[in-house]
Amino acid sequence: MVESQEQLVRDRLAVLVERLQREPMAKEQAWGATFDAGLSRVHYAEGWGGIGVRADLQSVVDEGLAGIGIPPNFPANAGGIGIVAPVLATFANDDQRSRHLRKVFTTEEYWCQLFSEPDAGSDLPAIRSNAVRDGDSWILNGHKVWTTMGHIAQFGLLLARTSDRPRHNGITCFILDMATPGVEVRPLRQITGEAEFNEVFFTDVVIPDACRIGEIDGGWRIAIGTLMEERNAVNYMQDNEVSAVDRAIAFWRSLPDDARTAVRRDRLADLVIQTTVYTQMRARGMAKQKTGTPGPEGSLAKLRGGELNQAVYEFCLELMGADGMLWDTYEMTQPSNWYEFGIGPSDLRRAFVRSRANTIEGGTNEIQRNIVAEHILGLPREPKVG
């Protein structure tokens, strides 16, 4: 069975590669052909970008396409492919998948995640944005915050309160067309000057019931699945960028000999060792994710990766000395696509400042520690007093 699954993937890949070599096409078209061949995510169901085989066989496809010069689509639409696509594949109905899933992989559609609110970030079940049923539609009012790339998104994965049932039990998940009247997106300017994040306001926004994912008041199960995918998507993002310690090493080599003291060399070596251990831990988590069932292991990578990034960039700024205080501009900019998301590899000052968010975004480190304690170590919850 194992051999037959791998052979099926290799046979499909051979046909796709032959076509792409015979009919040269733009990368977006090639990504669409890959989806149609069932090779975008091989563990997805047949007809929805997969062929229902083991998820680890995706590496066979990725290597084969790279060999003929087809670039990966993940960096072009990290949020959509890493977070939204698996949620649609798992929880959406066939009409919703048919409308959206292929376009996520071809990057025709950018998506955002409309979960966090001003008073409901780490405590996500406390969301207050509410959707009230009105015939075949829902009327949405509320306010979301920290919406990554919301300014370029055509659609959003939305959580809203749909009943007065307590906390987790009264939440429903929707697909929101961001061009709907009543949706207002405002940039959130960060201390780097950039505005990767946004606030989103809803005023009497009409959402067709056909855009509801799953059961009414059953959105918490989808939310949990989404958050697990989000934390594992961080792993994929790290595979597509220069690591913090590699940036530090490159900067170290540019310094004069008198700045590269033994004490500093020892600190750099320690950071390299910590990064190596972290990379191995992350690889183990990625191997588990390739079974197609992401679990709480993503929280380990999220927790350690944020702390390590901060330590590395603090070291880089120390190496700069007084130059580390210099800044070129605070002019606000917004990335116009996912390729522009994040900080350039040579801008260590901005990377240092941006790294302060690493232990907050995507779930604070406090939340990650709770997940690790409860779902990996199996520790009991602290009993309530009173």
Model confidence over 195-229: pLDDT tens digits? 999 999 999 999 999 999 999 999 999 998 888 77
Question: Does the pLDDT at position 14 exceed 90?
Answer: yes
Q: Where are the domains of the chain?
A: 1-72, 111-219, 221-376
Give the gyration radius of the chain's Cα atoms: 22
Q: Which residue has the tokens 């009919």?
A: 23
What pLDDT was estimated at residue 331? 87
Determine the angle formed by the axes of helices 27-36 and 58-66, rounding to 10 degrees: 150
Following DSSP, what letter does each residue of 279-329 receive, concatenated? Answer: HHHHHHHHHHHTTT---THHHHHHHHHHHHHHHHHHHHHHHHGGGGG----
Region of residue 361 (phi > 0: left; psi between -120 and 50: alpha; otherwise: beta): beta
| β-strands 111-114, 155-161 pairing | parallel
Cβ(58)–Cβ(287) below 8 Å: no
**How many other β-carbons are positioned within 10 Å of the β-carbon of residue 68?**
12
Determine the angle formed by the axes of helices 27-36 and 2-22, rounding to 10 degrees: 140
Residue of higher predicted confidence among 34 and 341: 34
Of the listed ranges 84-98, 234-248, 266-280, 349-363, the least confidently predicted one is 234-248
Question: Does the pLDDT at position 360 exceed 90?
Answer: no
What pLDDT was estimated at residue 340? 84
Residue of higher predicted confidence among 240 and 6: 6
Question: Does the pLDDT at position 231 exceed 70?
Answer: no
Share of the chain above pLDDT 90, in %: 68
Residue of higher predicted confidence among 186 and 305: 186
What pLDDT was estimated at residue 160? 98
Q: What is the CATH code of the structural domain delimited by 221-376?
A: 1.20.140.10
d(CA 286, CA 114): 26
Residue of higher predicted confidence among 103 and 24: 103
Question: Does the pLDDT at position 386 exceed 90?
Answer: no
Query: Which residues have CB under 8 Å from 187's CB, separation 6+?
Result: 151, 195, 197, 198, 332, 334
What is the average pLDDT across 86-100? 96
What is the average pLDDT across 14-25? 96
Q: Helix, strand, coil % (nearest 5) of the chain?
A: 50, 15, 35
Of the listed ranges 1-10, 150-159, 317-326, the least confidently predicted one is 1-10
Segment holding 253, helix H or strand E: helix 244-254
What pLDDT was estimated at residue 368? 85
Share of the chain above pLDDT 70, in %: 92
Query: Which residues have CB under 8 Å from 193's CB, separation 6+?
Result: 329, 330, 331, 332, 333
Same fold: 111-219 with 221-376: no
What pLDDT was estimated at residue 172? 98
What is the average pLDDT across 360-381? 85
What pLDDT was estimated at residue 2? 58
Assessment of whether the complete model's pTM goes beyond 0.85:
yes
Give residue 288's pLDDT band: very low, low, confident or very high (50, 70, 90).
low
d(CA 56, CA 10): 13
What is the average pLDDT across 167-181? 96
Query: 246-268: string of b/e by CB count within 10 Å (b at 16+)?
Result: ebbbebbeeeeeeeeeeeeeebb
183: tokens are 């949706």
Cα diameter, the chain: 74
Mean pLDDT of the chain: 90
d(CA 70, CA 107): 14
Question: Does the pLDDT at position 110 exceed 80?
Answer: yes
Q: What is the CATH code of the structural domain delimited by 111-219?
A: 2.40.110.10
| Partner residues linked to 202 by β-bridges | 142, 183
